[in-house]
Each structure stands twice: as structure tokens, then as C-alpha cells.
């Protein structure tokens, strides 16, 4: 049960990053939480093998980013990787103008996703439709900016730190800040510094990972319950293991809370279950028999 906290590097897709990590660590399957565009860097949790069964339970509701924007540039992708056009700037914004502008975006609001995004319309990512020049209707979505602050301003660039809800497009936020200042703006850098409870300090880049020996690499691989810290654990007896693996209910003991729980027998993770109001354990995700929670490669 293995999860790597990757610091994705610039100019690679999230898919390419997880496939390279999978190869380096010798796993057979990989999935990730929260796609990062090629221009973006930062926290990218990579779930390997049977850990991928728990991706949907990963708490990704809040994310923190540090983003850099540049005045005077329009882009069809809202960042500097797109088709660019340049606008002359008659009135250079001062720092107070920018601080006042970004304050207005704090809280709950509606945001229109960019055309060049992975958001789907009838099962097709919008960026594929946009690349073909097809017209389509975008719908606004509700976002929440929990905190936003100006970190740096040296014309024509400014840098902000944003703590936001899942589904927030930071490049769109920057463009909207520019519109409120009557300025063209495009994003030029983006780093995800937090993903739920995970921070950049816990990550490693692929470049560094590739230069480590096998034992050193595995020091960065975490167990699933270390990452999904919001899910409590409950132990069952050895005599109940087969019943759980066969999908049968089991009576929970020494437990006070209902809801999702990791199910353990000694040090072996058996899967995920729902503890109902009668304190019965109802299997939800059952792992292959015999898979150990401790990392066998350590």
C-alpha cells in the first residue's frame, strides 16, 4: 500500500510524471490526485497498485498555490503557453490597487472555467474541443477563496498566494483580477504548495528520486493511512478476516464513531468499510488477500 508525494517539475504532464515515478519505484499501476498542467509544479500525490482503490477518498477539498502573473499579455489559454497578444499599459497599477482588487475575490463566488481545461462537456475535455476550434457553452461553477494575499509586486509581474476550494482555476482567477483593474493578465508560474493536509516539504522531485538508490527511494513512499489521516482505524480479530474479505458484516468493538474506517488485522490493512449506526462493519473496499500495510521494500 504505497503513496509517493511528488513535487512535479515544470514542462511535464501529470500523466508523464506518475508513469516515470511508477517505473522508478517498480510498481505495476499508478494513479494521481489533482492534475497539474505542464506549466505547474508542486504537490502531486501518486497512488500505486492497490492504493489506487483509495483515490476517491483522498481529501482534496482545499489546495494552496503560489502563482505569478504578468500584466500586458492576453492568452487564449490564460497562461504564457498559449497564443499571446500584447497590450500597451497606459496606467501602471500600484501595489495598493492590486491589494484592493484581490480582496474582492475572497469568499464564495462563481467562476467560468477556461476553454483550455480538462473539464468535460459530454465526456470530452474542453481543451480538445478548443484545439479543434469548436464552439461550446461553458457553465460557471461555485468556488471558495479561503485566503488570498499579494506576496510580491514588481511591475509588470505580481505574485499571489491562494488557499482555495477544489475546482478553482488559478489562471482564471489571475485574469479576473486583471479585468477588475482593466488590465490584460496572463499566468507565468504556478506552484501547488498544499494539497489537503499534504505540504511541499514532504515531497520529492523526479530528478532527485532518480539519483537515489532503491532503499533511499522507498523512504519517500508512505502508507495509505499516513496520507488519508481523516479516516480512523479499527481492528478485527484473525477469526474475522475471511468474513470481511468475503464481504460479510462484522460487529465492531471498542469504537465510538460511525462512518468510513480502515480495517486492520494486526499490521495488515484489509480494506475500507462503513461502520453503520448499529456499529456493524460493512466492507466497502476489500484488498487482495495477504497484502501487507507495511512496505515490504523498506
Residue with grid cell 475535455, as numbered in its chain? 125
- Residue 52, pLDDT > 70, answer yes
132 & 167 share domain: yes
C-alpha to C-alpha distance for 209 and 188, rounded to whole angstroms? 26
Q: What is the pLDDT of residues 235-261, one digit of tens each?
A: 999 999 999 999 999 998 888 889 999
Residue 277 forms part of a structural domain: yes
Sheet with 280-286, strands from edge to edge, namely 233-235, 259-265, 268-275, 280-286, 250-251
Range of the domain at 275: 231-286
91 & 111 share domain: yes
What is the per-residue pLDDT for 54? 86
What is the per-residue pLDDT for 109? 96
More confident residue, 70 or 57: 70
Residue 261 forms part of a structural domain: yes
184 & 118 share domain: yes
128 & 10 share domain: no
Residue 294 forms part of a structural domain: no
Residue 99 forms part of a structural domain: yes
Q: Are 178 and 188 in contact (CB under 8 A)?
A: no
**Pairing mode, strands 40-48 and 30-32:** antiparallel
Q: What are phi and psi of 144, to 5 degrees?
A: -135, 120
- Residue 297, pLDDT > 90, answer no
Residue 297 forms part of a structural domain: no
C-alpha to C-alpha distance for 275 and 252, rounded to whole angstroms? 8
208 & 174 share domain: no
32 & 151 share domain: no
170 & 72 share domain: yes
Bridge partners (DSSP) listed for residue 195: 63, 198
What is the per-residue pLDDT for 294? 36
Active-site residue, selected from the candidate residues 7, 37, 79, 176: 37
Q: What is the pLDDT of residues 94-139, one digit of tens each?
A: 999 999 999 999 999 999 999 988 888 888 989 899 999 898 999 9
Enter the pTM of the model: 0.87
What is the per-residue pLDDT for 17? 96
- Residue 298, pLDDT > 60, answer no
Q: Are 252 and 281 in contact (CB under 8 A)?
A: yes
What is the per-residue pLDDT for 289? 57
66 & 115 share domain: yes
Residue 298 forms part of a structural domain: no
Measured in whole angstroms, the distance separating CA 282 from the mean position of its chain's CA atoms is: 29
C-alpha to C-alpha distance for 115 and 78, rounded to whole angstroms? 9
116 & 130 share domain: yes
- Residue 39, pLDDT > 90, answer yes
Q: Are 70 and 178 in contact (CB under 8 A)?
A: no
18 & 111 share domain: no
134 & 217 share domain: no
C-alpha to C-alpha distance for 72 and 89, rounded to whole angstroms? 6
**pLDDT category of residue 291 using cuts at 50, 70 and 90:** very low
Q: What is the pLDDT of residues 205-227, one digit of tens each?
A: 999 999 999 889 988 998 888 88
Residue 293 forms part of a structural domain: no
What is the per-residue pLDDT for 14? 94
Measured in whole angstroms, the distance separating CA 31 from the mean position of its chain's CA atoms is: 12
C-alpha to C-alpha distance for 104 and 107, rounded to whole angstroms? 8
Q: Are 58 and 73 in contact (CB under 8 A)?
A: no
Residue 291 forms part of a structural domain: no
C-alpha to C-alpha distance for 60 and 139, rounded to whole angstroms? 22
Domain total of the chain: 3
- Residue 7, pLDDT > 60, answer yes
What is the per-residue pLDDT for 81? 95
C-alpha to C-alpha distance for 192 and 40, rounded to whole angstroms? 8
| Long-range CB contacts for residues 173-176, cutoff 8 Å, separation at least 24 | 173/67, 173/105, 173/111, 173/145, 174/67, 174/69, 174/78, 175/78, 176/105, 176/111
CATH number of the domain residue 71 falls in: 3.30.2350.10
Q: What is the pLDDT of residues 146-186, one digit of tens each?
A: 999 999 999 999 999 999 999 999 999 999 999 999 999 99
55 & 74 share domain: no
What is the per-residue pLDDT for 296? 40
- Residue 290, pLDDT > 60, answer no
C-alpha to C-alpha distance for 20 and 7, rounded to whole angstroms? 13
C-alpha to C-alpha distance for 183 and 245, rounded to whole angstroms? 60
CATH number of the domain residue 280 falls in: 2.30.130.10
C-alpha to C-alpha distance for 114 and 107, rounded to whole angstroms? 20
**Pairing mode, strands 40-48 and 185-195:** parallel
176 is catalytic: no
C-alpha to C-alpha distance for 284 and 265, rounded to whole angstroms? 16
Amino acid at each position: 500500500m504505497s503513496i509517493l508525494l511528488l513535487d512535479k517539475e515544470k514542462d511535464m504532464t501529470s500523466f508523464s510524471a506518475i508513469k516515470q515515478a511508477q517505473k522508478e519505484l517498480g510498481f505495476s499501476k499508478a494513479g494521481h490526485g489533482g492534475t497539474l498542467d505542464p506549466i505547474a509544479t508542486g504537490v502531486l500525490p501518486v497512488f500505486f497498485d492497490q492504493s489506487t482503490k483509495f483515490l476517491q477518498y483522498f481529501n482534496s477539498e482545499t489546495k494552496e498555490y503560489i502563482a505569478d502573473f504578468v500584466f500586458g499579455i492576453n492568452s487564449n489559454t490564460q497562461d504564457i503557453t498559449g497564443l499571446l497578444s500584447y497590450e500597451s499599459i497606459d496606467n501602471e497599477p500600484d501595489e495598493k490597487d492590486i491589494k484592493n482588487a484581490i480582496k474582492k475575490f475572497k469568499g464564495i463566488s462563481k467562476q467560468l472555467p477556461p476553454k483550455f481545461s480538462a473539464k468535460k462537456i459530454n465526456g470530452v475535455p474542453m481543451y480538445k474541443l478548443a484545439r479543434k476550434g469548436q464552439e461550446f457553452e461553458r457553465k460557471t461553477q461555485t468556488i471558495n477563496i479561503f485566503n488570498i494575499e499579494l506576496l510580491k509586486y514588481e511591475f509588470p509581474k505580481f505574485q499571489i498566494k491562494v488557499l482555495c476550494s477544489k475546482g478553482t482555476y488559478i489562471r482564471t482567477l489571475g485574469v479576473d483580477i486583471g479585468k477588475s483593474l482593466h488590465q490584460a493578465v496572463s499566468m507565468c508560474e504556478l506552484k501547488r504548495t498544499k494539497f489537503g493536509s499534504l505540504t511541499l516539504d514532504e515531497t520529492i522531485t523526479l530528478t532527485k528520486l532518480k539519483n537515489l538508490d532503491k532503499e533511499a527511494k522507498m523512504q519517500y513512499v508512505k502508507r495509505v493511512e499516513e496520507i488519508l489521516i481523516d479516516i480512523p482505524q479499527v481492528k478485527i480479530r484473525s477469526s474475522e478476516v475471511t468474513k470481511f474479505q468475503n464481504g460479510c458484516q462484522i460487529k465492531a468493538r471498542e469504537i465510538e464513531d460511525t462512518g468510513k474506517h480502515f480495517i486492520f488485522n494486526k499490521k495488515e490493512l484489509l480494506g475500507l468499510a462503513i461502520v453503520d449506526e448499529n456499529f456493524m462493519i460493512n466492507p466497502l473496499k476489500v484488498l487482495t488477500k495477504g497484502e501487507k500495510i507495511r512496505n515490504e521494500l523498506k
